[in-house]
Structure 1
């Protein structure tokens, strides 16, 4: 997913040169995916990033690797949405990560890994996903990271806080503005400020799905438009959609899935604020530099 506006970062994080050789995070993730045996990628982005991304990746992918780019369009919604809202003129940005993945439905036919293009996950994350699909290619899965490894020294972050038991995901809840406050790690959950453990596993948008996710996304987007379609800033998040499938009771979803969780043994790296860039460059040099 590479359609984010990077409002807190102040620019297009998708094109930021952060690697030891000036690579973008997207280039590093594609290299990791190729090492793990993945043979195709779909980049979901904005129309003004199509040409820069095509130029960035020209001649950098192995022969036979299939690459598609698609645009996350504001009005690309499940049929019938105009009976709820007349148009999308009230929106400044698209409808969130669930909508971003929905945008790729015509281009993905098999097991998939879903990531943010502007984050670094490490080779092991993609290998864990590949190993999981090798066992069961219709499984859903996630690579989690300890919360303490995903914080920024320059401001609060939003994270999907996970409850994991016996390597299975039981719940994922979106927390916002997580950071240290007077020596205590705290964040907002449901609008209320609360403490959170530094060791709790979090979703960093490293999901493994099979194509039945698109039926679930259609249901979720229909519910979202019906309840929040008139809100200019509301977003439909992938963790919320996954949670709707995990809830076996009181759920409108017709599909039940088990989500297997692996814990990454390499650090996650990302830039939320401009000040994060220097630290991330240093860490990537330590991890990947000669």
Structure 2
């Protein structure tokens, strides 16, 4: 399909360690023809009108991604790598950080901030190891070409995003009239005898069965980078000595929603609910189920 919406960039966050999965999920061959989730997303984005991608990665993934993507991208679709480095910090933040004790990357907010020199216009932001479906990218493309400063998110019903093999982390959303009101990162969400529960601010709480969640399927304009820098700096001041604490994109978005004054206009985040199921692997036991679902979904299109 010929692209008709110019200058749309897809940023794929692909530097994660996959600690619960036990390896690089972004390279797992899960599609019906052995495709990675990343390959499936690139194909969907191209069909929706995106013309370039920036992959945020760890250096050791470069050669493997080169091999995986060789000959698979359209001539009019560009793809470049951006390295997420733990010592790539905002000015003045180094004094808060103990890199010698750091055991993992700084999280999704820092991953996107790492791409700040590579993206200067409308961008979609997704995870490398998730399947979002063609319609999610069409929704993102349509929202991003709107001539305003709004951000956007494609949300998913929480019931479509859980794992039978353990707890998962999700950005739980409150939405009113199609606008995001609140988003917060909940940890270890799982079905228990009492119902759906998760951990928020170190408290175990109940979650509504009809809740919608952020699956890192965002649409941003370039102003996101200044917001991330401010919030990441604040995060490091509080957590820079922690070996595993992460700064999440939902936390950054919520901080911007809360930041309103005469000098700072309000920010609108438009929310679309996905028309297709989300699939992802958190644990090794998820692989068989995801492969079966992708086979059913993609071979029936």
When normalised by structure 1's length, the TM-score is: 0.96
CA distance in 2, matches of 1:226, 1:95: 13
Aligned counterpart in structure 2 of residue 158 of structure 1, from 161, 165, 169? 169
Q: Please say if 1:286 is aligned against 2:296.
A: yes
Aligned pairs (5 A) from 1:43-122: 43-85=55-97, 87-122=98-133
Q: Please say if 1:31 is aligned against 2:43.
A: yes
SS in 1 for 2:254: helix
CA distance in 2, matches of 1:48, 1:230: 25
> Do 1:111 and 1:137's aligned partners in 2 also have CA atoms closer than 8 Å?
no
SS in 2 for 1:152: coil
Which sections of structure 2, spanning at least 5 residues, go unmatched? 1-12
Deviation at 1:82, TM superposition (A): 2.3
CA distance in 2, matches of 1:126, 1:287: 16
> Do 2:122 and 2:145's aligned partners in 1 also have CA atoms closer than 8 Å?
no
Which sections of structure 1, spanning at least 5 residues, go unmatched? none
Aligned counterpart in structure 2 of residue 200 of structure 1, from 206, 211, 216? 211
SS in 2 for 1:115: strand
When normalised by structure 2's length, the TM-score is: 0.92
> Do 2:30 and 2:36's aligned partners in 1 also have CA atoms closer than 8 Å?
yes
> Do 2:144 and 2:220's aligned partners in 1 also have CA atoms closer than 8 Å?
no
Q: Which runs of 4+ in 1 moved over 4 A?
A: none
CA distance in 2, matches of 1:220, 1:158: 20
CA distance in 2, matches of 1:88, 1:33: 36
CA distance in 2, matches of 1:59, 1:122: 22
Pairwise CA RMSD of aligned residues? 1.5
1:216-275 CA distances to partner (integer Å, 9 max, x unpaired)? 1111111111111111111110000000011146x9x95641100000010000000000
Residues matched between the structures, number: 287
Q: Please say if 1:175 is aligned against 2:182.
A: no
